[in-house]
Amino acid sequence: MSLNWLFLDLNSYFASVEQAERPELQGRPVAVVPMLADTTCCLAASYPAKRRGVKTGTTIRDAKRLCPGIVFIQADHRKYVRYHKRILEVVDLHLPIKKVLSIDEMACELIGSERLEENARAKAAAIKRGIIEGISPALTCSVGIAPNRYLAKVASDMQKPDGLTVIHQNEIISKLSRLEPRDFPGVGPRMEERFHARRCYTAEQMFQIPISEMTELWGGVNGERFFYLIRGQNLPEVDTKRSSISHSKVLAPGERSLNAAWPVVVRLLTKACARLRDEEFYSKEVWLSIKFGDRHPTERSWHAKAKLFETKDSLKIIDEVTKLWQEVPRRPILRVGIALTSLVDAGHHQLNLFEDKRRDSLMETLDSVNNRFKESTLYVADAQPALKTRTNAIAFQRIPGEKE
């Protein structure tokens, strides 16, 4: 019995949730967007829209041209979190969820007789049926079943939408041989270039690379791990530590000047700092990034950073970014982004002789009030204009709290 994992991937999740809310949109081209403006881009698209060339990053203007009649819906991540929780409940009725990977992906470890193909397929079918009958026919999922979680994820991508792919240990090379390196999680554009430089264009060729060369290609232990994962070995989890907390936003047309964009930056910083405290981290560095909206021949973006003494204080971090903001070129701004980096967990925080415990209490009170009532009950005054014109985004990897 080589089947150890079942991986579930919701199909076009954000668009499907909107279709679940509005059944008349099922089977129609739908795109989820941060705001209803031609200059912004699609965050997600339904399969009918994808077949017409609309994908994540397509501008609304181009989507209208590619897919006449497409319906645009402004994103609402609270709705997506509510559906996510309902889906978890359905899956848990049939199999314990070992790990939630993102808002639309989860993995279940199979045990005992569940590892038999017939029983694993029955579990997958029951989960699919439970989601459709218990929540909405608009919510389909693709399921992969394989010897390890990594290959189960690969299998879930092989048949979309509403697919079910099973890969036994002795079928790995034959079933994956026609895939390309980019079809494997973790292989990005740069890694793909390395494979191509070695004249490796298919998974079949990839399986011929010896472990020593694979390690060299990846530049270390990740290559050895990849070598064994694609062969179905059930390796222990790698303990990955968070390296940053970030937020960004494509600005509405009325927010694209320096003065109008600043409240948005403050709001993003406030949100990131609340997450920093909630996850019990301190930050030693903050980054500000800008993408411009004009047609400058070379400088389309700008970024800068400020060093911090380990802090989780919103006001201190905003003060540092205020200084960076004075250096931003005075040009139309399309997108702003902030990132808190060089994170230190609370257990390894280095105490500062000048730390003010009253400021810590102030931040705790702010978070407590906002968690109890709603986000932005208490806020930094500079953020007020952004609260009135806020638009929604969706989190692909992170599952946001309902009060965000």
> Is 44 a residue whose pLDDT tops 60?
yes
Question: Which of 50-54, 64-68, 270-274, 365-369 shows the lowest mean pLDDT across its residues?
Answer: 365-369
381: confidence class by pLDDT, cuts 50, 70, 90 = low
pTM for the structure as a whole:
0.73
What is the predicted pLDDT for the residue at 50?
Answer: 96
What is the predicted pLDDT for the residue at 362?
Answer: 63
Question: Which of 51-55, 66-70, 375-379 shows the lowest mean pLDDT across its residues?
Answer: 375-379
What is the predicted pLDDT for the residue at 2?
Answer: 84
Q: What is the DSSP string of 316-374?
A: HHHHHHHHHHTTS-SS-EEEEEEEEEEEEEGGGPPP-TT--HHHHHHHHHHHHHHHHS-
Question: Which of 49-58, 212-221, 239-248, 340-349 shows the lowest mean pLDDT across its residues?
Answer: 239-248
Q: What is the mean pLDDT of the chain?
A: 87
CB-based contact 404:375 (threshold 8 Å): yes
Amino acid identity of residue 47, one-letter, is Y
Q: Locate tokens 């403050």: which residue?
A: 266
pLDDT digits (tens, 9 = 90+) for 156-196: 999 999 999 999 999 999 999 999 999 999 898 889 999 99
Hey, what CATH topology would domain 1-169 get?
Answer: Alpha-Beta Plaits (3.30.70)
pLDDT digits (tens, 9 = 90+) for 280-328: 888 999 999 999 988 776 788 999 999 998 888 888 899 999 999 999 9
Token representation of residue 317: 């971090």
Hey, what CATH topology would domain 177-238 get?
Answer: DNA polymerase; domain 1 (1.10.150)
Q: Is the domain defined by 244-388 classed in CATH 1.10.510.10?
A: no
CB-based contact 51:61 (threshold 8 Å): no
DSSP state of 395: -
Asked, as a colleague might, if the bond just before 161 is cis with ω within 30 of 0, I would say yes
How far is Cα 45 from Cα 18, in angstroms, rounded to an integer?
10
Q: Which residues make up the CATH 3.30.70.270 domain(s) of the chain?
A: 1-169
Q: Which residues make up the CATH 1.10.150 domain(s) of the chain?
A: 177-238
Token representation of residue 391: 């638009």
